[in-house]
Structure 1
Amino acid sequence: MKKPLIVLTILTVWCAESVVAQPRVGPLCGYTPPRSEFRDLKLSANYRYYNDQFTDNRDNVNSGSLRASFSRLLDAPTFGISQQANVKLDLTRDTFSYQADGAMNLRAYVAQTNFFGFVGAEAQGATMFVSPGLRVSAGLGYGRFKDVTALSKALKIQERLLGLKAISAPLPATVIFELADTIGRRVEFADLASLVQELEEIIEATGFVPQGQLGAVALLRIEEIVNETADEKLCGWELRVGLGYELLDSQGGPRDWLTLASFEYALAPAPRSQFKSSLRFSSSLSLLEEYVLIAQANYAFRISETIDAQASYNFVRTQLKARTPLDIQSLDLRLTFQVQANLNLAVQLEFTLASDFEEWTQGLTITANYDLF
């Protein structure tokens, strides 16, 4: 267990230093967008097959892994929807294992407040469980999330234009927020070209464009940033408590009424950084005699213009009455190096530990991608 903790500690210090070093026009989480609708889907996979020279296949290799995470948020003044799911599949020496969990809830807010009532459902499964677990719930909560991707894109546009020398100085804060509000109203524009034209007019009206008009390269870069879909930013927190009913017990036990509590938190400390975490607890009415605890954290950030990093941790504990708790935890670390414009290198470390493991499993994957043309 020491190795993952040492790596995580080093990475945490490193990422903290990188965030402090990044220039910040203003806190992303202080921005309130015209509309909050957030979607994020991440996929990664690898597979290796090797057939050795021996007839007993002593050195054969048949292994691979798949990681998927999905989150969606819609927040309006009077209602909200949130969904999230995580899947981890592993194939090691022809042995298949999996770990998965997901949750969805619908919220109705008290007028002009952050208090809400909710109904929802949660599911979890793993190779070590007898069956998938499924529970439904209802209760009360407090908090809101907001999608600040539009402000993040406005800051990226400023950064890119400064790099191209298309503007003579950083844009005023009022202009940055005007760009963000315009990007946030994308659905109101007939097409992407109309939105880019509106952004061009806002920037040129500042008088910060040396040539009076933005060139074709600058407009192309603006269009690319506005059209990005893989770098959404989310801020906020939410606390929920309630009651639920177990439709399926993951250990094959009787279905019970449950007490539920959860806390979710998201922070975008910089335009190219995102931290998300969640803690979900469900227990029988006898509280700590039988319960399920799920904790997750993910931090993606840019160390420099050529290095991106991501760290994620997952922990699931299942406690049954008069039994030893069943724990499953995993730690994934990934570094991506943009060596040249057409060459990038990715290094991924994976660690997994379950209650019946003698030690952490350890995996190292190095991937190089080169575009010849």
Structure 2
Amino acid sequence: MKANRMWMCFVVSLGLLAPATWGLSLCSYQSPETLLMDARTSFSYQYYDDANTPAIDVSTGRVDFSFSRLRDTAIYGSVVRLNGNVGLTNFLPSRWMGEGEASFRYYVSKELPLFGFGGIHGITTTGQTQLGLDIQSGFGFGRFKDVTPLAKAMVIHQNLRASNAISKPLSDDVVMKIGQTIGSLSVVNPVENIVVMIESLVETVIDGQLDARSLLMIEDVVMGSDPQRFCGFSAQAGLGYELLDPFGGPQGFLVALSADAAYAPDQNGQMQGHLGFSGPFDIANENTLTGTFSYEILITKSSSLDAGYTFQRVQTVNLAPTTSHGISCNVVFKVASIDVLVGLSYTRSTGDPGWSVGCSISASMDLL
């Protein structure tokens, strides 16, 4: 039963992807520069003290955190990433796993997404004698792009239809042109010019005029920070050299593999994922595997879902591997004038008797 509940939020969120398989694809938009940032944290704790037993029966918990920043242009890009978790026993840290990296990439051409990269990588776990630190370099393939302008164009189209400002849907070509117009927003091309250009594009198609309310809505969407949407992938492979061996051993060379992906099914949803694998040349007996996945979707104007999964597996020489998993699912919705948040979290690490389950419900409302 617990396993069924654990995966329920993922089944629901993936099912919401179905409507996005039709129509204009967000990932068809081309952007000159992309900046992707994401930060997450979650907390769960289990406490039980039976009066019939001499000591506290259960007192364990976990804190998960992650941060990522990815920038891509036609010529260069950069990645900063931090993932980790801290296990708690009797409200004190008892075990931990963490990994961080920063790298710079240079593309060989604007047309071909082939790049060389170099950077630094660090890892720490409970069983290590010290921080593991290494430098890496190699080659990769892939590129990310910011498709937020087209997502905003889709929101504008959706709002115009909902308010009956236009009697029929705009063609995909017109929506794409609106997105390209929003993408040209700059200091020399301010929002006032963008609104006028979008107004002209729409009015030419509908053979009519947009009212003042529609124009204000267009301006608000163009200037707003949401939705932010990204598409793309990258896969890279390289060699590294240890600056600090995590177990105090001799320094040596490393093999490093990683892959990243981002996909926006429509203007309301965003998926992101990362997978990393590294270790010395004897990689079968000593390695680290990490992964993260997140999915967020705006279900309606007043409700949203945010789900995520993280894991880390560390294999050391002559020792059993240690693993750590974290799953979170948060739903925000509005009931009348009340904002409600329901959150579920599941965590498990090597040595735990089972999954730790966390559930939170909160509500807020404006009285005046």
TM-score if structure 2 supplies the norm length?
Answer: 0.85
Q: Secondary structure at the residue paired with 1:237?
A: strand
Q: Secondary structure at the match of 1:289?
A: coil
Q: Give yes or no for the alignment of 1:17 onto 2:15.
A: yes
Equivalents in 2 of 1:222, 1:92: separation in Å? Answer: 52
> Of residues 239, 243, 251 in structure 2, which corresponds to 1:243?
239
* Counterpart residue identity of residue 283, structure 1: G
The residue aligned with 1:27 is 25
Give the equivalent residue in structure 2 for 1:296: 292
Tell me: CA distance 1:131–1:226, structure 2 relative to 1, closer, same or farther (3 Å): farther
Q: How many angstroms apart in 2 are the aligned matches of 1:137 and 1:338?
A: 48
- Counterpart code for 2:210: Q
Structure-2 change in CA distance of 1:287 and 1:88 (3 Å): closer
CA deviations on 1:315-370 (whole Å, 9 max, x unpaired) are 11111111111211111111111223x42211111122111322222211112122
| Counterparts of residues 138-157 of structure 1 (less than 5 Å) | 138-157=137-156
Match of residue 344 from structure 2: 349
1:94 to 87, 91, 94: 91
Aligned equivalents of 2:74, 2:229: Cα separation in 1: 20
Q: What SS is found at the alignment partner of 2:314?
A: strand
8 Å Cα contact 2:26-2:264 kept in structure 1? yes
**Aligned in 2, Cα 1:281/1:164: closer, same or farther, shift over 3 Å?**
same
User: Which letter does structure 2 place at the counterpart of 1:174?
Assistant: D
* Distance in 1 separating the partners of 2:124 and 2:150: 37
Q: Is the 8 A contact 1:204 1:214 kept in 2?
A: no
Rounded Cα–Cα distance in structure 2 between residues aligned with 1:228 and 1:47: 33
Distance in 2 between residues matched to 1:46 and 1:356, nearest whole Å: 19
Spell out the pairing of 1:106-117 with structure 2 (5 A cutoff).
Answer: 106-111=104-109, 112-117=111-116
Partner residue of 1:74 out of 71, 75, 86: 71
Q: Structure 2, unaligned stretches of length 5 or more?
A: 46-54
Kept in 1: contact 2:43–2:64 (CA 8 A): no
Aligned CA distance change for structure 1 residues 19 and 115 (closer, same or farther; 3 Å): same
Q: Map of 1:265-304 to 2, 5 A cutoff?
A: 265-304=261-300
Q: What pairs with 1:246-257 in structure 2 (closer than 5 Å)?
A: 246-257=242-253
Higher alpha-carbon deviation: 191-200 or 231-240: 191-200
Report if the CA contact (8 A) 1:72-1:83 is conserved. Answer: yes
One of 348, 358, 362 as aligned partner of 1:363? 358
Offset of residue 176 of structure 1 = 1.0
Q: Describe the SS at the equivalent of 1:283.
A: strand
Deviation at 1:10, TM superposition (A): 2.8
SS of structure 2 residue aligned to 1:155: helix
Distance (whole Å) between structure 1 residues aligned to residue 126 and residue 207 of structure 2: 59
The superposition leaves residues 16-43 of structure 1 with CA deviations (integer Å, 9 ceiling, x where unpaired) of 332213584311112222x231232345
* C-alpha distance after superposition, 1:85-109 (max 9, x if no partner): 3355676743246554332221122
1:39 aligns with 2:36: yes
Identical-pair percentage: 28
* 1-structure distance, mates of 2:131, 2:207: 59
What are the Cα deviations for residues 53-84 of structure 1, in whole angstroms up to 9, with x where unaligned?
Answer: xxxxx99xx99986654333332222222233
SS in 1 for 2:154: helix
Check whether the contact 1:316–1:329 (CA below 8 A) recurs between aligned residues: yes
- What CA distance in whole angstroms lies between the structure 2 residues aligned with 1:161 and 1:80? 37
Summarize the Cα distance change of 1:129–1:151 in structure 2 as closer, same or farther, 3 Å threshold: farther
TM-aligned CA deviation for residue 262 of structure 1:
0.9
1:224 and 1:108, CA in 2 relative to 1: closer, same or farther beyond 3 A?
A: same
Supply the RMSD in Å over aligned alpha carbons.
Answer: 3.2
Residues 1:201 and 1:251: Cα distance change in structure 2 (over 3 Å):
farther
| Contact 2:62–2:87 under 8 Å retained in 1 | yes
- Runs of at least 5 residues in structure 1 that lack an aligned partner in the other structure: 49-57
- Find the aligned partners of 1:297 and 1:109 in 2 and give their Cα distance: 26
Q: Which deviations, in whole Å up to 9, do the C-alpha atoms of 1:248-283 show, x marking residues without a partner?
A: 344444433101111112111121111111110111
Partners of 1:65 and 1:195 lie apart in 2 by: 48
Q: Distance in 1 between matches of 2:216 and 2:204?
A: 19
Distance 2:306 2:160 in 1: 27
Mapped partners of 2:181, 2:241: distance in 1: 44
Contact (CA 8 Å) 1:24, 1:270: kept in 2 or not? no
Q: Which amino acid aligns with 2:355?
A: W
Q: 2:312 maps to which residue?
A: 316
Letter in 2 for 1:297: F
| SS of the residue 2:267 aligns to | coil
- Asked whether the equivalents of residues 171 and 208 of structure 1 are also in contact (C-alpha less than 8 Å), the reply is no
User: How many residues get paired?
Assistant: 359
Q: Distance in 1 between matches of 2:35 and 2:206?
A: 34
Match of 2:23, SS state, is coil
301-310 vs 146-155, which moves further: 301-310
Distance 2:281 2:355 in 1: 34
